Amino acid sequence: MTISENELAAFADGELTSADAARVEQAVAADPELARRLAAHRLVKDRLAGHFAPIMAEDPPERLTALLRPRPAVADLAAAREERSQRTRLPRWTWVAGPALAASLLIAVLVPGSGGNSSAVYADTQLATVLTSQLVANQNPDAQTRVLLSFVRDDGDYCRAYASDRQSGIACNDGSGWALVEQAGGATGSQGEYQQAGSSVADVLARAQDMAVGGALDAEAERAAQERGWHD
């Protein structure tokens, strides 16, 4: 019976189903090497728990908990920039107290473009479809990936800020596809609200404000850009 390291770690953390836990327990009882590896996992778990317990027992500062509260999905670029500025002044220990925030910063799935800038990375098919077809004004509030706003940057390319539970970022249509120019962690939520992971969405909106020429597109301008294929 083959037991992987991931299964051993999950067993040590009590995260397996009862059936899988019974299977691992049986294998460990019959294999001294498995028992040794399980003991090593439990030792690491106990040491980490002892290290972080005093920190996690403290109440987080109000400024940190405020960042994790749901907020409207309507993009307010100026407010996002101010929030990012305030967050940079938080004490450094607050990030140690939030390991779940660090775990939420996931790597986006990327595919190379088929031309244009060879050093650029491009949105995968699923994300590219959303960026091409989904308008801010009429998107489903429960969509897995939501477009936050659209704008034009200084080179004339159309760009769109987006967020999902896996990732958030900014993509610009450079003629070869949707080039990913900014990437950050994910944000979860529904019915027009987001729970921001590490304020990654606020960072994206603040960056969009830095990049935009003339501000975010209104619904009419966004629809016109879509009809032109996101090109002038």
Block residue for tokens 């308008």: 135
User: Within 13 Å of residue 119, how many CA atoms lie on the same side as its CB?
Assistant: 1
Average pLDDT over residues 154-183: 92
Sign of the Cα torsion 153, 213, 149, 167 reads: positive
Nearest to 146 by CA among 75, 214, 223, 231: 75
Average pLDDT for 164-176: 90
Per domain, the residue ranges of the chain are: 5-57, 72-227
Task: Return the structure tokens found at 125.
Answer: 């098919």
d(CA 211, CA 125): 25
* Beta-bridge mates of residue 178: 173
**Is residue 194 predicted with pLDDT exceeding 60?**
no
Q: In what order do the strands lie in the sheet with 187-188?
A: 71-72, 193-196, 187-188
* Tens-place pLDDT, residues 13-51: 888 899 999 999 999 899 988 888 888 878 877 776 665
- pLDDT for 117-147, tens place per residue? 557 789 999 999 999 999 998 888 778 889 9
Q: Which pLDDT score, from 0 to 100, does residue 202 have?
A: 81
